[in-house]
A and B are shown apart, each in its own frame.
Chain A
Amino acid sequence: MRAVLALGGVPQADLLDGVQQVRLRLLERAANGQEAPRDVSAWAAVVASNLAMDWHRAKKRQERIGERLASLRQLEHPSGEDTSLLSLAVAQGLDELPDAQRQVLVLRFYADLPVRGIAEELGIPEGTVKSRLHTAVRALRARLHEDEVV
């Protein structure tokens, strides 16, 4: 759950807060007499991803995970490592995606939700989910080719 928030651009300092908010929503749901979600993990992942989007719409600047990764990398490997270039490139690619595409990408390939599940939880048509995913993956692939990291 924290990782879904982080991949959506929520800074590390706010992660715990984000997790608390997701848990609160689950409690609220129960308190309102709604049924527990059929798949709690999937539901939590979607709520977390929505929170991440809301978070940086409210702020002026989204945390760029590419920058954060780069600074982490400097700490551990001042000499630099080829193998990290790919991760950095992917992170930068994520930063450049529009929110909606980034969200479905994280839900599909980090949280491993199926397309239908994403569509249901977000309340959008499957076709929209597929289209966003397709565009996002194409963009990342093209970027990684340009950067010649793959």
Chain B
Amino acid sequence: MTGDIIVRARGITKRFGDFTAVDHVDVDVRRGEIFGFLGPNGAGKTTTIRMITTLTQPTEGTVEIDGRDITKDVSSPAKEDIGIIQQHISLDKDVSVLENIRYHAILHRIPRKEAEERIERLSRMMGLEPYMDRLVLNLSGGWKRRVAIVCAIIHEPRILFLDEPTAGLDTQSRHMLWDLIRGLNANGTTIFLTTHYMDEAEELCDRVAIIDHGHLVIQGTPEELCMGIGSWAVEYRDSDGVKQYRYFTDMEQSRAFQESLPLGSRVVSRNTNMEDVFLEVTGRDVVATEEVTFRI
């Protein structure tokens, strides 16, 4: 079924000395979907996305974009199908916004007239027109990210990778970016995004995979994953006052469990969400994970 799969990664592994950052991960991204790659800081999300986009060479494994192996050929034409917005904004900050965007058009060999039309259209769409002659250095983080988005999509990639795209953004910018992602996806662009915001995954993603300590733990649609642990969640505090969670496949079981708790217990009953899934499969909170940073 290669026709439906636009990204196929098999056994991709990255080792830094004795430390294995990503361990034999298999990923299939279907054409036209929004695929979420979840995990705590240091779980291996960025390393995985860098290996898939050829920015980091895998120690083992292969990556195919639309059936073409891009791990062997560094100048593979398949790269033209890829766009990436990195977690750390990768722009030349000592030149202007327009020069950065034009540079990306030049690198992707877009004919000049067509490039200028795209620059005008995309800069208008992102509200960048008043800032085109400003040095990137002098822009705020949100505006820099908008410039990075235009640079990443100027060559109209078939698959767009976003590495924690909303990290550090205010609510308005976050929703603007969500709308943009949905818009690009509606126009046929496949989206691969990493995030450690569970609400973002639920809001945007058709399918998600969770990675922890370099291992792919689980993948499926958000609904499937929630159903997998039980659709009903009960939050309560145990005798030591520690918050506990129990999951049930139907409401009756959930009610029966609540009735079994001591009188006066503070109980919350609700639908299971992605955060519950995450806690169940990783056994801890996202933000509590120790961050492991390697230069890659």
* Physical interaction between A and B: no
Give the interface of B toward A (CB within 8 A): none
